[in-house]
Amino acid sequence: MLKGIKNKFKRKAAVKFLNDNKNKRIACSRVEKGIAKVGCIVDLDNVPDGTIFNEFIKEFSLQPNALKIIGYKAEHDKNSPYSTPVFSEEDLGWGAKIENSYALEFLDNEYDMLISYYTEENLLLQLMTMQSKARLKVGFGEIDENLNDLILNIPNKDFSIFKNELRKYLSVLNEI
């Protein structure tokens, strides 16, 4: 019971933090145009294979280590091997901090483009998007528009459509 009350307070504080800060940008020193480093935050509960994002390496001519992917699972089984580093609900700490070594490593990096590949409101995914340091943040229209710079109103079930639309918009913005 005490754990439930503690988690409720953590969530309430995190929601307040998100609402108070979603209009603020986290500073990013990457100012050059062009896509050389990409971060992907993926809801693995709705996208079963996080490895499809490796297609961005070829699509944007990235170095293999220039793509970082982190996945979210509501129920994270610590004993199951995942092909993508994972964080979950239990990783929410005090002060809207995510207490997961994979998530902290992801947040320590700076990206030219951050892709938030989720369409359902989710506190932890939104906190990760907000706290990531990226020059250009890309997401879906179902999520709070204040979190992303480029919003694609397409279904997230078809990755090839997403990839083609993203390429089109990045060309228009002279990023590729």
Residue 1 has a pLDDT of 67
Count of C-beta atoms within a 10 Å radius of residue 162: 19
Residue 49 has a pLDDT of 81
Q: What is the pLDDT along the chain (176 residues), one digit of tens a residue?
A: 677 788 888 889 998 988 888 777 777 777 788 899 999 999 999 987 888 999 999 988 899 899 999 999 988 776 666 678 999 999 999 888 999 999 999 999 999 999 999 999 999 999 999 999 999 999 998 888 889 999 999 888 889 999 999 999 999 988 88
According to CATH, the topology of domain 2-172 is: Rossmann fold (3.40.50)
Nearest to residue 175, comparing CAs of 134, 144, 128, 141? 134
CA distances from 89 to 16, 17, 97, 119, 121 (A): 17, 16, 12, 17, 13
- Say what the pTM is: 0.91
For residue 139, the cross-strand partners are 151
Nearest to residue 38, comparing CAs of 30, 47, 27? 30
Residue 50 has a pLDDT of 81
CA distances from 145 to 134, 139, 142 (A): 16, 8, 8
Q: Which two tokens stand for residue 78?
A: 């610590």
For residue 116, the cross-strand partners are 41
b or e along 104-120 (b: 16 or more beta carbons within 10 Å of the residue's beta carbon)?
eebbeebbbbbbbbbbe
Residue 87 has a pLDDT of 93
